[in-house]
Amino acid sequence: MAVCIAVIAKENYPLYIRSVPTENELKFHYTVHTSLDVVDEKISAMGKALVDQRELYLGLLYPTEDYKVYGYVTNSKVKFVMVVDSSNTALRDNEIRSMFRKLHNSYTDIMCNPFYNPGDRIQSRAFDNMVNSMMMQVC
């Protein structure tokens, strides 16, 4: 269960960012913003030689004392960043990967919507529902 999910465009501005609980939103925005540096570092570290073998899933970007941040980059340089609670140790790598895969699938569905212009903020009900299902339930 994620605490914050963000979709960042190729030019590094946010297309979609949602966090729960909704107070302290600014802290999550800041975390996602700083994680972009780590993402860029990982992409460039792969180097030009390995571009074919570069995996989309980047893995753990960096841990803080409360949270862990995971990243995923598509071939069109759209980044997905996910912040999860550190106390939730039951989350395995496989689960994170499958969550990113679901995000990626929903993102491609949105791209296929003829009314969506690439580069706009994402305002799709289907995407919201899918993200809600992945967020932590807060009573």
Partner 1 sequence: MSRQGGRGTESKKMNSELFTLTYGALVTQLCKDYENDEDVNKQLDKMGYNIGVRLIEDFLARSNVGRCHDFRETADVIAKIAFKMYLGITPSITNWSPGGDEFSLILENNPLVDFVELPDNHSTLIYSNLLCGVLRGALEMVQMAVDVKFVQDTLKGDSVTEIRMKFIRRIEDNLPAGEE
Residue 127 Cβ, how far from partner 1 at the closest point, in Å? 9
Q: Which residues bind partner 1 (CB under 8 A)?
A: 109-110, 112-116, 123-126
Residue-wise DSSP of 41-71: HHHHHHTTTTGGG--SEEEEEEE-SSEEEEE
Residue 104 Cβ, how far from partner 1 at the closest point, in Å? 15
Q: Which is nearer to partner 1, 47 or 114 (CB)?
A: 114
Q: Which is nearer to partner 1, 76 or 88 (CB)?
A: 76
Strand partners, 69: 62, 83
Q: Which is nearer to partner 1, 74 or 124 (CB)?
A: 124
Residue 98 Cβ, how far from partner 1 at the closest point, in Å? 21
Beta strands in 1-139 (DSSP E): 2-8, 14-19, 57-63, 67-73, 79-85
Give the DSSP letter of residue 135: B
